[in-house]
A and B are shown apart, each in its own frame.
Chain A
Amino acid sequence: MALTENPSVDIRQQLLDAIAHFEHVLPGQAPIKDFVHHNTLHGYQHLNFADALKASHELTGAYGYEPAERYREYFKKARITLEDLSTILDEAESLKPDESICEKFKQKDVYLAALLNPLKSITGCQFTWHIEELNELNQFQQSVSQTSREKLLSAAKHHGEESESEAINALWFACLKSLNLEHYLLHPEELMDLDPEAAESMLRDVTPDESSESSDVSMLHRQVVKESKNLLGQLIRKVGDDITLRGFLNTITGKDILDDIRPVLQQHLANYLDQGMSAWHPSERNQGFYMVWRSSALDDLAWVFDEMPEWQDSINSLPDDAMDTILLMLKQLGIPETHWAHYLQRLALEIPGWSGLFLWRHLHPDYEGDKQPVEMLDYLAVRLVLERLFAQRLCREQWQIEANLDVLRWYFRRRHSEFFVRYVMFNNHLPEYLFTLAQRQIERSLLDHEHYYPWKQLADMIMAWRNSPMSDQPKGYSVFHHAWPLFHLTQHLGLCADDVESLNAEQIKQMFGCLSALNNETSGFIWLQAYERNYRDALFNAVVANENRGRWKHSESKSELSTPDASTQNLTRPEAQVTFCMDDREESFRRHLEEHNPAIETLGAAGFFGVPINWKGLDDTETTPLCPVVVDPVHTLCEVPNDNQQPKFHKHKHRRNLRFSLKNLIQQETRRSLLAPLLITLIAPFSFLSLLGKTFSFRRMNGLGEKLRNHFDIPVQTHVELNTSEPKPDATPSDNQFGYTDEEQADKVQGFLRTVGLNKPLAPLVVMMGHGSYSVNNPHLAAYDCGACSGRHGGPNARIFAAIANRPEIRIILGERGVNIPEDTWFMGAEHNTADENISWYDQDQIPENTKSAFQKLRAEIDFVTQKSAHERCRRLASAPKKPSLKKALNHIIGRSYDISQARPELGHATNAAAFIGRRSISQGAFFDRRVFLISYDPTQDDEEGHVIEAILLAAGPVGAGINLEYYFSTVNNEQYGSGSKVTHNVSGLFAVMDGTSSDLRTGLPKQMIEIHEAMRLQVLVEAKIEVLGKIYQRQPALQELVGKGWLLLSAKDPDSEQIHVFKPDKGFVPWDGQQSDIPLVDNSTDWYDGKHLPLSPALIKQPPNTSPADYSNNDLKGEFNNA
């Protein structure tokens, strides 16, 4: 069908542009199987942090800071100090904290009082309560500090007010006087009942000139009309930018058509996007969502029950093209063309979860090789058609008119009173008697459209009430909204009645100006910064105190390193070097490992170990990218059976297929097939036993299952096909090269060693420890995996790196390039399961004879440390045993991940707060409570331009920020940015979770993941010269965004001294001004954390004497540490 008026091509382009912009405002979460942490507000990342939060709040209504009460609690617990707040306020120049209001106090004092105390306006009823029951006109408010009280009382004494009650009472009247207000005390009954005299006198107040002469009723009604016109105009102007027609109708009828649309739409959407749950997808899937929906909607009988006679005609007459439909619908709804683009955005934002997923698929057309088109236009077209149909029904039912903005405007221009009543009824607080009347009138009007008089009468009554003092409608200063907050503010400032009276109008205005400048956004940001500052100071304090204590601060020059002579080698060569992922969860593991055997050095790097690959495991049918999300790998690596294992492999394959078919039969066919009763009859007895086992002894049950599984599958010895048979120099993400050339392999090893600063004597054993997480009954499983491997397990990368580095050919090439790997050095790949602490070692069969004993020793040590790590994790888990033994702790931790009823198998990154990029010597020897990402980097091995650190920042920066910010937003506002409680989650279409069976898709992290998180931005401390970092910042736009806009907080530690500089976007690096304070010194980590369950501040851990740091570096150590 052609449109009657052909709109310009331009508007189509405008709408397409608007859709392209959706990426910035809709949740960008991938389908849940491929969950990767990302900044929840990634679309706002081009803005400054605070501005972005404000913009998002305005657009979606989701506030981005913790509520002020929570921050005040932190203040009470000294997690934020007055000094923190005061410093941050001083830095907030736009607030002009130093401007004084009078000689007694500055603006800053007002800000502080307002931050620390809720200086809120009050309602009439509360007011009465506070005065009559809490007696607050005669005594201090409870929260007023002792100093303020004394100050106030002593000032009051000067003016002859002796007692507290006198002083406070005088203060209240002074506040009223200074605002030219009178004090009335109204009782709840008076608020309910408007007696005639009061009404009359009040009306006289409202219309002082005319009331005596003409009829005050008409005056009142004129006011109704004026107000109604005003409201109608405002509301109509909002359509498009802030609300859709649905919002408009909701505002004046209290009925939300989205409640009707959602179930109709979601069934179709879910089936269209489904990734394997549904057994029946319509055959037209390749024609796009709009066409699928349309042909199905024609068969839909919903119109019969929903009383929508025009359903079939409307759908029949829709154009085939989604864009045409959108234009037609917008026109039919009467939306002004200038608002169309915004209207679509608003429409998409109404169901952000579904819109976001649809958009994600739209932007990733090749996802899972799906050939069906996912076009945002299709989705919007369907949304619009449904919106119009249901709006039509509502409008017809309510007023017998078209669902069209112009028609609605025309209708209500004739019925001002009705509009006024409806608007006030659904959007303001009405006293009960008016509310009931309005509610009944609205119901009655459904049956009786003709009687207009009741509307008019009711509107007049409401207006009369609105003009009364009970209605809380402020005009100028009012008792509830101004005098009361001022009364409290002055108490906190310690001002007495005379002080207040001496303030002139201008000064009072200035005070209220301060209060309103400190809105939710501003105060939230100030609190957040103060909170961050407090943690940062404790952190940096520990780093400074730890200066020259940490081991492994190699400062030898590079030339020496490449040819290590025997003596230095003995001196500095660790027993083993274990490289972990930078993950904050590995901090405790590394610490315990080094405490257990001080001769082991640990390192940290992004968990893909510099080998970005598409991975195909032995049993995989498809490849999986194992690298940060931003990288598109061009190499595919496959796991293949060893040569002598071929017959076994065939058997293995056969058995595995059999097992999976069986599993499929049990899990899927029992719900899907008509023959299911037979199946259920067969398996029910087993499932009963299994359920018993899983409920009462899940750990043993799982162990048994695992054993049986392995035994059944027949393990096959494998290796990774490292070498390429046909090099493709111009391999692309879609046309991968299988395996690496020798040169490429050497590059990978060389590059990685350089990145982590391992261009130095290597230990006899070098372990690459990837990580992943496994737990049962956890839809968000991928969120616990390795963020540097796109939310997958990083074991294969570790294995591949180790296998490459062990190849003699590669070592020869490396040797030619000046990188000498000692002959007796052996690389091992392994994977750490962060949920149950299990370590899997790869390719143990390849270990050379002379390394075997070293490996056995290391393995035993690491196995021991898994217990320590589990032990430390228990302290933060509320349901874990208190003060458990090591064995018990490990058993508990293992049990958690195999307990099907466990909603918190592990706490993930819940404790993340900071990142160190530098040598281990910065952090080694101190306790950081699993809060720090540790990335190894040796500034002494970098070039002058800082290319290595530049690359690290570019790779690790977004990963760290993504994790940290997702936790941040899910914590501060779990309802809107997070996904609420796991308890009611239900996996939909294998792509997301929803609450129950028909909610919007929930994005972000569930409540169970963030409960203990402390929401603050990531403190990144880099060990590098500030000049180097400054130059990198200048040349890297990505960092200018992340760091310059405040999404990451960057600081630099000088490699040669303990000096720390903090980066301020507007000022550059400024010296850290935190104070040095004493920091506890403990024998070992367990001593510090045992029995404590809350976040812990850093502590120093005594270093063992035999490997005293003096071996390696400077010797101006403080005596107390040497005694250790």
Chain B
Amino acid sequence: MHSFFSSVWLIPLVPLLAAGWIALGYILKFNRGESGEAQTSQTALTASSISLLLLLILDGFALMYGAPGQIKYASWLASGSYQVFISFTLDTLGLVMSTLMAFISLLTIKFSVNYLHREAGFQRFFMTLCIFNTSMILITLAGNAVLMLVGWKLAAVSSYLLIAYAPGRPTATANANQAFITNRIGDGGFILAISLSFIWLGGVEWPDILLHEKDLSSLHIGLIAVGFLLAAMVKSAVFPFSAWVTKALEGPTPSSAVFYGALMIHAGIYLILRLEPLFMMDGVLLPVLVFLGLITIAYGFFSGLVQTDVKSALIFSVISHVGVMLTLCGLGLFNWAAVYLVLHAVWRAYQFLHAPSYMHLMSRPTRPASQLIQKWRWLYTASLQRFWLDKLSSWMLVNPVQKLAREARSFDEKVVNKVVGLPGQASALSSLDQLESENTVGKGRGVAGTLMEWVATKLGWFEEHLVLHGGDKGMSNVIQHLGVYVLKIETLLSQPRYLVLLIVTTFVVIL
């Protein structure tokens, strides 16, 4: 029996291998096009069936002999006294959730066989579904925070690929970017929590984190929990991080179903469930969970009232139900939350897969909101604008990151290139002797013009030679230049958005 439990690593690996095989087939051109569809979908179906089957057998054993708990394999990463193992947590929670994930993934893959028939992105789609399947199983079975983070990341990557399923549509790619960037914040929190666990608890195995015997102050525990909570909030689109998921419904129907309706959105809640002891230990965070849960319920509920398209209407409902689970956790009813998670995931999978026929399933118009609510007109506007969360998030996050990228480039161009001595394209045509010819283009006229021209040419020569060839004077020149640029950067940073940005970048850099 124990030997069987130790083959648990196969469960996430099989779909990943399938994804690799499909990708290989695509590169080597043996499964491309319509004729390759059957092979592709068979690969994906077989792989996900195998991992589901293994899970079911595992469940059976667990039922008979009791869940084995932590299973550790070899050390994976080691640095000094810090070690990360490949390990799995086979407890009731993990087994139930991973079985659910595997089940719904399989159903969705089956659904996609006909739905995606003759689509140009067929192979890409199935590959992504396989990666996603792996990632969800990893998240639910991982025995430590680092392995879970791997799943976490894979899920983010596959969701990015699916939102941008139609790369030709600008909205799709823009929304994919927004989702990706928002998710990085959560990753930041996750990594923070992992680092703190290493430092304070000496390990990242779940038992290390949850059942530690060290005497940590509630502040320490709280900080670790907050890191994880941030990650969970982003992944589960808890207020105020809900915007990305409402814009993520650009991909084909089955992907919306699994990612945002049924599975991925629950990953955050799962993380909280997994960390139950941590939250229970630190009583302060429970009311926070309730608070966040209630706001999320309200956000999803009110915004949901005014949605007119099927997918958006469903996703707002999903958000408010995630809020319900969060609230249950906050009230200490973690088991209830877990049970509700399973039921909710199943129902949403059903509902999202039926989304195209929703109009035929409705026999009458939606029940109108109560008169009491209808009196608040501003609430109507706020709901219609989804409480401006999309705008707020792009205002606070996405735009600044894009601006940062732009300014980083201009920094490169203006400072780094000069310091290093690269001519840079900004100032000239593309080769050195053309730098000189540039002057013939920008010829001055008149006395002043000619003078300026002469000065400019000399300065150019001066700068070029000294910066390129170094030397005392060259260095002073460089320092002078630098002074100017540093001043520029300072003025930029004095704007508040860059301050926020700096913090965000730290997160990005940690990755």
Contact = CB atoms under 8 A, between A and B. Distances in A.
Interface of A: 32-33, 192-196, 199-200, 215, 217-218, 259, 263, 267-268, 270-271, 274-283, 295-297, 299-302, 304-306, 433, 436-437, 440, 443-444, 453, 457, 460-461, 464, 660, 663-664, 667-674, 676-677, 680-681, 683-685, 687-688, 690-692, 695-696, 776-779, 781, 878-879, 899-904, 981-990, 994-999, 1008, 1011
30 contacts: A194-B434, A196-B433, A196-B437, A217-B443, A277-B307, A277-B313, A280-B368, A299-B382, A306-B391, A436-B426, A437-B426, A453-B442, A660-B363, A663-B363, A667-B351, A671-B313, A672-B304, A672-B366, A674-B301, A680-B344, A691-B349, A691-B350, A778-B357, A878-B117, A901-B112, A902-B114, A983-B252, A984-B165, A986-B249, A986-B355
A879 B117 CA distance: 8
B110 A695 contact: yes
A904 B113 CA distance: 12
A305 B392 contact: yes
Contacts of A995: 166, 169, 250
Contact of B366 (A668, A899, A1008): A668
Nearest to A688: B346
Nearest to A295: B377
Nearest to B365: A276
Contacts of A696: 110
B110 A901 contact: yes
Contacts of B360: 776, 778, 781
Interface in B489-511: none
Contacts of A672: 304-305, 317, 366-367
Interface residues of B, number: 100
A782 to B, nearest CB: 10
Most buried by B among A305, A683, A878: A305
Nearest to B437: A196
A985 B256 CA distance: 11
**Nearest 6 pairs of A and B residues by beta carbon:** A276-B365, A684-B343, A996-B250, A299-B381, A671-B317, A305-B391
Contact of B107 (A283, A685, A691): A691
Given A983-B252, A984-B166, A300 B381 contact: yes
A778 B355 CA distance: 9
Contacts of A879: 114, 117
Contact of A778 (B246, B356, B406): B356
B166 to A, nearest CB: 6
Contact of B317 (A280, A676, A683): A676
Contacts of A1008: 118
B374 A280 contact: yes
B373 interface: yes
Contact of A901 (B114, B437, B441): B114
Interface string B163-201: 001100111100100000000000000000000000000
Nearest to A292: B380
B3 interface: no
Nearest to A304: B388
B109 to A, nearest CB: 10
Given A268-B384, A691-B346, A904-B117, 17 more contacts: A193-B429, A193-B434, A259-B170, A280-B369, A283-B374, A302-B391, A433-B425, A433-B430, A440-B426, A667-B361, A677-B344, A695-B110, A781-B360, A878-B118, A983-B253, A984-B252, A996-B175
Contacts of A193: 429-431, 434
B411 interface: no
B385 interface: yes
A671 B308 contact: no
Contact of B308 (A779, A985, A989): A989
A299 B306 contact: no
A984 B168 CA distance: 13
A681 B170 contact: no
Interface in B242-274: 246-247, 249-254
Interface of B: 34, 107, 110-119, 165-166, 169-172, 175, 246-247, 249-254, 297, 301, 304-314, 317, 321, 324, 340, 342-344, 346-347, 349-351, 353-369, 373-374, 377-378, 380-385, 388, 390-392, 395, 406, 410, 413, 425-426, 429-431, 433-434, 437, 440-443, 445
A236 B176 CA distance: 36
A278 B308 contact: yes
Nearest to A659: B363
A682 B343 CA distance: 9
Residue with the greatest number of chain B CB neighbours at <10 A, chosen from A278, A460, A660: A278
B426 A983 contact: no
A268 B391 CA distance: 16
Contact of B321 (A680, A690, A902): A680
A660 B301 CA distance: 24
A677 B317 CA distance: 10
Given A195-B434, A901-B113, A277 B308 contact: yes
Contacts of A684: 342-344, 346-347
Given A684-B347, A695-B110, A271 B391 contact: no
Contacts of A295: 377
A988 B324 CA distance: 27
Given A997-B250, A997-B311, A278 B305 contact: yes
Nearest to A307: B395
Contacts of A777: 354, 356-357
A417 to B, nearest CB: 12
Given A457-B442, A691-B346, A983-B116, A671 B304 contact: yes
A443 B351 CA distance: 46
B335 to A, nearest CB: 14
Contacts of B113: 901
Contacts of B308: 270-271, 274, 277-278, 988-989
Contacts of B306: 267, 271, 278-280
Contacts of A195: 433-434, 437
Given A299-B378, A691-B346, A443 B406 contact: yes
A482 to B, nearest CB: 30
A1011 B350 CA distance: 29
Contact of B367 (A33, A299, A663, A668): A668
Contacts of B365: 275-276
B85 to A, nearest CB: 35
Nearest to A776: B357
Among the interface residues A660, A669, A671, which one has the most CB atoms of the partner chain B within 10 A? A671
Contact of B356 (A277, A281, A779): A779
Contact of A192 (B310, B340, B374, B430): B430
A444 B413 CA distance: 12
A460 B441 contact: yes
Contacts of A299: 377-378, 380-382
A297 B172 CA distance: 27
Contact of A996 (B249, B314, B354, B359): B249
A781 B301 CA distance: 31
B309 A196 contact: no
Contacts of A695: 107, 110-111
A1103 B250 CA distance: 55
A255 to B, nearest CB: 12
Nearest to A679: B347
Contacts of B310: 277, 986-988
Contacts of B312: 986, 997
A139 to B, nearest CB: 29
A280 B118 contact: no
A672 B302 CA distance: 9
Contacts of A690: 350
A988 B312 CA distance: 9
Contacts of A268: 384
Contact of A267 (B364, B385, B441): B385
Contact of A302 (B249, B353, B385, B406): B385
B307 to A, nearest CB: 6
A564 to B, nearest CB: 48
Contact of A663 (B119, B171, B361, B369): B361
